[in-house]
Every structure is written in C-alpha cells, then in structure tokens.
C-alpha cells in the first residue's frame, strides 16, 4: 500500500528532529555526559601532570596541555552528541511511525503494516499494532459484507414482493372496471379500498427499492445542463393540482438562477416530496412558500408551510425511515414513511444537506442544498438503521458536560441547522475558543471528545483510541 | 379477423390476467411461459404483437428478441425502462413500447390498441 511507503520514506528533517522532545532530551543528555566526563578526566590528568612532571609549570607546556585538553573535550562532546542523536533517532523514529499509523487507523485505513526492526520492546509494540490493525481490517470487511448482504436482500425481496402485485392489480382493476360483470355499490366500495391499499403497498416496495439503491450507491443520476427555474416552476405547477384540493396557495420566490448540471428528475422528486408533505400538514386555505436562492457554492431550496409544525424531538428523527410524528400514530397522513429518508439519501449522495426548522404551531421549513457541481462518484449513504439518533444523544451529553446548562440550547440550535457533522462541530468549537467562551485547551478536549464519538461510529475500537492517546503522551514527554 | 397477441411471462397469473383483459377487448391471445416457448411459437405462427416479460428463467430476453424479427414487441416488466435501455434491449427496431409492471388495465389496453393498429 502507498501508506506504508509513505511511512518508511519519511526523510530526516532537522526541524522535526528538534521538535521531537525525545530527540532533544536524549541528545542533550549525551552532550552533557560527553562534556562532563572528559572534563573531569582531563582535570585530574592535568593536575596530576602538573604536580608530577618537573618543569611542567613552564608557560609553553601549560599552554600545550590546555589546548590538548580542550581539543579532547570538544571531540568527545561531538562524538557523544552524535551517538546520542543516532540513539534517540532509533527510539523516536518507530514511535513516530506508530503515531502516524495510528492516525491512519483513525481515518479508517486498516490495511497498514508497520515494519519496525529494533529488536526490542518497540518492535514488539509494532507487531502487536499490526495484529490489531489486521483484526480491525477483518472486522471492517465482515461488516461491509453484512452491509451489502442486507442491501442485496432488500433489493431482491423488493423485486420479489413486487411481482405478485402485477396480477393483483390487474384483477382488481378488471373487477372495478366491470370486466367481470356489474358490481353493487358496496362491492365497489370494497374494491376501492383494496385497490388503494394495493397501490400503497406497491409504493412502499418501490421506496424500499429506492433505498436499496441509495445504500448500495446504485442510485442513478441523469445529469445534464438545466435551467433550474424551469424545473422548479414545472414541479410547482404540477403540485398545484394537489394544493387546490385543500385550497392552498403555492407561492414561488426564485432568485436569478444559473444554468447548472443537475438531474431535473431527482430535483423534482425531492421538491414534490417536500411540497406534498407541506400540503398534507397545512390547513385549508393556507399558503406554502417555495424559495430558491443561489449561494456561494450551492443552491438553497426551501419549502415553508404554516401548518402545525414539528416538535424538536421529532425534528431530529424526521429523516429516519418509517418515522412518523408521534401525534399522528394513526397514520392518517398516509404515505410510506420513507419519503424524507429517500430525500435525505438523494441530497446527501450529491454532497448536499437537508434539514428542517420548525416551531410547533407555527409551521415548518424544510431546506436542502444542491452543490453547483454534480457529484459523479456516488457514495453509499446509510438510510436504514442509521445511528444518527444515538450519536446525537452522545453529542448532547458532551455539550452539557462542556458548556453546562447553556450546552443544551446550543446543541438544539446546531441540531436544527443540521450542523452536527464533525466538521461543523469543530468549527463551532473554534468559534467558541476565538470568542474566549472556553479556553483553547478546553476546546481541544471538547474536540477530542467529539472526535471519539464519531470514531466510534466508524467502529474504531475504543482501545485503539486510548492506545493512540498513550502514544501521543509518549511523544509529548 | 381478430388480431393475435402472444403474451410471454413466466407467471401464469400474469398471463391469465392479460389474456382476460385482451380477450374482453376483442383480441386473440396465445400464451408462452418462457423464452424457449416464445421462440417456438413465433416460428410456427404469425402474430400481430408480442407482449414480452424481461426477467424470465431460461433463454435470456436479449437472445429471445433476436428470434422475433417481424413482429412488434412491447416489453412489460418490473425492471425500469432506464435499466432495460442500459441492457441494450430497446435498441432493436421492432421494440415499440415499454409497459411498467404493475400496469394499469387501461394502460395495457391503450398501448396494445395503439401499437397494433398503426
């Protein structure tokens, strides 16, 4: 692997060498010993020779002896300094390698091998490290296999579930349309209910298929240069049909939008979903605002309704699959419960963000961003069984312990902005230290804790983290 | 003279449903249960239209359509049209339409009618 090469190739660098405390200490120690030892030796040699050799007190001889003495001192000091340098390097280099390798592990690169040949405890540490790394790599691989098996299973079962729907739907529609004779009013009602639910079942299966695609990075985008205003306008016009049923007005506010490369169908899919939700949760005769604005690096879309709003508790979980707002456990709003999860999958696979801002009783505003450049290399996004809520809980705890009672509010604020990503939190902590709200050191502790939470998500072994901490300590000392 | 439609699907319930719908609308329907069966029947008889499923056991559909040269083909499948296109199934000239399963009865009737008449 490249990484291994990188590690071994590390060239000697004077600056780094002096920055390393171990190197400085050992070299200094050797230089002191190297000066003191010969100094003492020569001092005795000098005093003995002066007292025992007759005529040694003559100035010439004293000069000569002094010069020889200084020469010896300097030479030995240089020598011991050099030996100290080599010795300290032989200790600090493998430690540095271990440190770098551990950093790689933290990033999730488990296929890393250290080659420390010092024939001492450090070599054994290196070997233990290699074993730990390879077992982590194995765990990671097993996990990926389970993951892909899950996705595969989802995809296959969804296809299999879909095939019986075809004859069911055909027969039901034949009944409904009188192919098999006239129906009584009650029979018609019954058939209507069956058809409605068959369609719903089919929608759920289709959504499952979509999720299996998102999770397997098999989501297909059809990018082409489009005028965003057209797509937004057409989608809004299409949704107006549904809005009219509840006498709801759709208001469109468009910036001057650039022509960018994007998939109009996917964009429309997300917008339809959000507008559809907004209609569902709006009162008769109210207004829904659709705003589209160009920002520096992306386009910001938002759909704002004046409906009943969403509680903070529900706001975190609303993008999870099958999560329906508690109050509506009757599921009177229909739908598959997968719409927002799919939206999140589509938005995030294009490196965008999707979030909600809401106050109960005062409506909700769903926003998402679309980067100006399309992402061609689609990454798998975890939609099902996401650990999001678990992580958020842990982050919330850290906020409370680091910032006291203020922490909870701050956490909720960030969460509502959907800014709980590692990078978001790091820049938030930076802003705290810059405003002297917390000290720099405390900021670093905070960052470490956040980092640990996210590392756990990557299933990095906890022990490894403490191992890394120890190494860091070792380096610092 | 009634127009004849060959319905190829490995699921008998789908074949039976399509037969009921099309017969009610005045077509003659012959069924084939897979690709081999389809090739055999196309050889021995003239059809006005073939309704062809995509995912079936036996001979792959890619091979099956090579044997159907002078009859219009409508695919009907749970596979999405974009996937079918990617598999190169829609390139052949006599592939005229694509019916997404599960289909609506009215759509089936309409597509068959339009494609069989012109």
Section A319-343 average pLDDT: 72
Report which listed range, A265-274, A316-325, A415-424, is most confident. A265-274
Selection from A14-28, A297-311, A391-405, A422-436 with the highest mean pLDDT: A297-311
Interface contact A173-B78, CB threshold 8 A: no
Q: Given this model, what pLDDT does residue A475 score?
A: 57
Fill in the DSSP letter of residue B54. S
A348 and A287 belong to one structural domain: yes
Query: Is pLDDT above 50 for A375?
Result: yes
Task: Note the pLDDT of residue A470.
Answer: 56
Residues 6+ apart with CB under 8 A from A350: A221, A266, A370, A371, A374, A375
The DSSP bridge partners found for residue B98 are B75
- A157 CB within 8 Å of a chain B CB: no
What is the Cβ-side half-sphere exposure of residue A254, based on CA atoms within 13 angstroms?
14
- Higher-pLDDT residue of A316 and A293 is A293
Where does the pLDDT of residue A10 fall: very low under 50, low under 70, confident under 90, or very high at 90 and above? Answer: low
Question: What is residue B48's predicted lDDT score, i.e. its pLDDT?
Answer: 94
Give me the pLDDT at residue A53, please: 66
Give me the half-sphere count of Cα atoms (radius 13 Å) on the Cβ side of residue A98.
29
Residues A305 and A232 in one domain: yes
Q: Quote the number of domains for chain A.
A: 4
Q: Which two tokens stand for residue A95?
A: 């430690």
pLDDT over 60 (residue A468): no
Q: How confident is the model at residue A446 (pLDDT cuts 50, 70, 90)?
A: confident
Six token digits for residue A86 = 């080599």
Could you report the per-residue pLDDT of A103-147, keeping only the tens digit for each? Answer: 888 887 888 888 888 778 888 888 998 999 899 889 888 888 887
- CATH fold label, B4-117: Rossmann fold (3.40.50)
Does one domain contain both A197 and A238? Answer: no
Q: Which chain B residues have a beta carbon less than 8 Å from that of A166? A: 11, 14, 17, 78, 101-103
Q: What is the mean pLDDT of residues A7-28?
A: 67
**CATH code (residue A190):** 1.10.287
Domain boundary among A371, A404, A436: A371
The answer to whether residue A404 sits within a structural domain is: yes
pLDDT score of A93 more than 90:
no
Interface touch A170/B106, C-beta < 8 Å: no
Q: Are residues A281 and A154 in the same domain?
A: no
Q: What is the pLDDT of residue A58?
A: 75
Whether A275 has a pLDDT exceeding 80, the answer reads yes
A201 and A340 in a single domain? The answer is no
CB-CB neighbors (< 8 A) of B14 in chain A: 166-167, 170
Instruction: Cite the DSSP H helix spans in A119-227.
Output: 121-176, 185-215
Measured between CB atoms, which of B20, B78, B104 is closest to A162?
A: B78
Domain closes at, from A172, A196, A215: A215
pLDDT tens, position by position, B33-61? 999 999 999 999 899 999 999 988 889 99
In this structure, is residue A364 part of a structural domain?
A: yes
- Res. A279: pLDDT tops 60: yes
pLDDT score for A473: 59
**Mean pLDDT calculated for residue range A442-457:** 75
Contact criterion met (CB < 8 Å) for B17 and A171:
yes
How wide is the angle at C-alpha A458 spanned by C-alphas A456 and A462, nearest 5°?
Answer: 35
Structure confidence at residue A3 (pLDDT): 44
Q: Are A166 and B102 an interchain contact pair (Cβ–Cβ within 8 Å)?
A: yes
A382 vs A168, more confident: A168
The answer on pLDDT for B5 being more than 60 is yes
Mean pLDDT of A290-304: 93
At residue A386 the predicted structure's pLDDT band, cuts being 50, 70 and 90, is low
pLDDT score at A34 = 75
Give the CA-trace dihedral at A273, A274, A280, A286, to 10 degrees.
Answer: -140
The pLDDT confidence band at residue A39, using thresholds 50, 70 and 90, is confident
Residue A235 lies in a domain: yes
The token pair that represents A440 in the structure block: 């720099």
Do A232 and A359 reside in the same domain of the chain?
yes
Q: In chain A, whose CA is at the least distance from the CA of B22?
A: A179
Cβ proximity of A61 and A10 under 8 Å: no
Q: Residue A452's pLDDT is what?
A: 73
- Average predicted confidence (pLDDT) for chain A: 81
CA distance A212 to A342: 10
In this structure, are A282 and A307 located in the same domain?
yes
Residue A24 has pLDDT above 90, yes or no: no
Contact present, A93 and A7 (Cβ < 8 Å): no
Under 8 Å between Cβ of B88 and B62: yes
pLDDT digits (tens, 9 = 90+) for B65-118: 999 988 999 999 988 887 888 888 888 889 999 999 999 999 999 999 999 886
Interface predicted TM-score of the whole assembly (ipTM), two decimals = 0.90
Contacts with A266 from chain B: Cβ below 8 Å: none
- Residue that wins the pLDDT comparison between B63 and A414: B63
- Asked whether residue A42 is domain-assigned, the answer is yes
Q: Where are the domains of chain B?
A: 4-117
Within this chain, do residues A159 and A119 fall inside the same structural domain, yes or no? no
Question: Range of A322's domain?
Answer: 224-371
- The verdict on A167 and A261 lying in the same domain is no
Q: Taking residues A78-92, report their average pLDDT.
A: 82
Mean pLDDT on A393-404:
82
Do A209 and A153 fall into the same domain? yes
Query: Strand pairing of B49-52 and B72-77?
Result: parallel
Residues A352 and A311 in one domain: yes
Angstroms from B56 CA to nearest CA on chain A: 12
**Pairing outcome for strands A364-371 and A354-358:** antiparallel
Position A7 scores a pLDDT of 45
State whether A210 and A331 are in the same domain: no
Is the pLDDT at A8 greater than 50? The verdict is no
pLDDT score of A168? 95
| Inter-chain CB proximity A169 and B24 less than 8 Å | no
Highest mean pLDDT among A295-299, A445-449, B82-86: A295-299
Task: Quote the pLDDT of residue A4.
Answer: 43
Domain boundary among A87, A111, A139: A139
- Find residue B30's DSSP bridge partners: B6
Binary contact (A173, B11; C-beta < 8 A): no
CB atoms B103 and A220 under 8 Å: no
Which pLDDT score is estimated for A332? 52
């Amino acid at each position: 692997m490249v990484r291994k090469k990188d590690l071994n190739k590390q060239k000697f660098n004077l600056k780094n060498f002096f920055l390393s405390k171990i190197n400085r200490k050992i070299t200094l120690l050797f230089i002191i010993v190297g000066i003191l030892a010969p100094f003492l030796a020569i001092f005795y040699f000098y005093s003995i020779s002066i007292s025992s050799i007759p005529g040694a007190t003559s100035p010439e001889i004293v000069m000569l002896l002094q010069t020889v003495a200084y020469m010896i001192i300097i030479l030995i000091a240089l020598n011991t300094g050099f030996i100290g340098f080599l010795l300290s390097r032989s200790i600090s280099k493998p430690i540095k390698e271990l440190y770098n390798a551990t950093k790689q592990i933290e990033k999730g690169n488990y296929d890393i091998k250290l080659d420390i040949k010092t024939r001492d405890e450090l070599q054994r540490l290196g070997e233990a490290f290699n074993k730990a790394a390879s077992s982590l790599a194995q765990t990671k691989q097993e996990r990926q296999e389970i993951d892909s098996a899950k996705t595969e299973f989802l995809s296959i079962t969804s296809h299999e579930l879909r095939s019986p729907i075809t004859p069911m739907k055909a027969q039901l529609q034949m009944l409904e349309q009188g192919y098999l004779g006239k129906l009584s009013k009650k029979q018609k009602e019954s058939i209507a209910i069956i058809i409605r639910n068959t369609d719903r079942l089919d929608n759920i299966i289709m959504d499952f298929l979509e999720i299996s695609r998102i999770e397997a990075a098999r989501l297909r985008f059809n990018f082409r240069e489009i005028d965003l205003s057209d797509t937004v306008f057409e989608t809004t016009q299409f949704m107006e049909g549904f809005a009219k049923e509840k006498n709801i007005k759709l208001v469109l506010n468009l910036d001057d939008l650039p022509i960018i490369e994007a998939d109009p169908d996917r964009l429309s899919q997300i917008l339809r979903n959000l507008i559809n939700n907004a209609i569902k949760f709006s009162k008769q005769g109210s207004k829904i605002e659709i705003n589209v604005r160009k920002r520096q690096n992306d386009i910001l879309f938002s759909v704002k309704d004046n409906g009943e709003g969403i509680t903070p508790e529900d706001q975190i979980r609303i993008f999870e699959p099958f999560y329906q707002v508690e109050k509506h456990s009757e599921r009177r709003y229909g739908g598959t419960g997968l719409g927002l999860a799919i939206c999140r999958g589509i938005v995030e696979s294009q490196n965008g963000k999707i979030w909600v801002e809401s106050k109960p009783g005062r409506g909700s505003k769903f926003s998402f961003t679309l980067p100006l450049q399309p992402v061609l290399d689609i990454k798998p996004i975890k939609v099902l069984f996401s650990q999001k809520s678990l992580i958020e809980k842990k982050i919330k705890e850290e906020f409370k312990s680091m910032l006291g009672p203020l922490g909870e509010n701050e956490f909720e604020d960030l969460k509502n902005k959907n800014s709980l990503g590692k990078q978001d939190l790091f820049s938030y902590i930076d802003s705290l230290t810059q405003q002297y709200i917390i000290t720099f050191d405390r900021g670093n502790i905070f960052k470490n804790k956040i980092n640990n939470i996210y590392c756990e998500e990557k299933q990095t072994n906890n022990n490894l983290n403490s191992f890394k901490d120890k190494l860091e300590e070792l380096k610092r000392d | 003279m009634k127009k004849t439609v060959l319905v190829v699907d490995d699921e008998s319930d789908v074949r039976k449903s399509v037969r009921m719908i099309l017969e009610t609308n005045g077509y003659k329907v012959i069924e084939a249960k897979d690709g081999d069966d389809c090739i055999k029947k196309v050889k021995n008889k003239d059809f006005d239209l073939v309704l062809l499923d995509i995912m079936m056991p036996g001979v792959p559909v890619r091979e099956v359509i090579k044997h159907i040269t002078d009859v219009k083909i409508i695919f009907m499948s749970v596979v999405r049209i974009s996937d079918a296109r990617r598999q190169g199934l829609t390139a052949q000239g006599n592939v005229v339409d694509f019916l997404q399963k599960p289909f609506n009865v009215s759509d089936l009737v309409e597509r068959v009618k339009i494609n069989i008449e012109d």
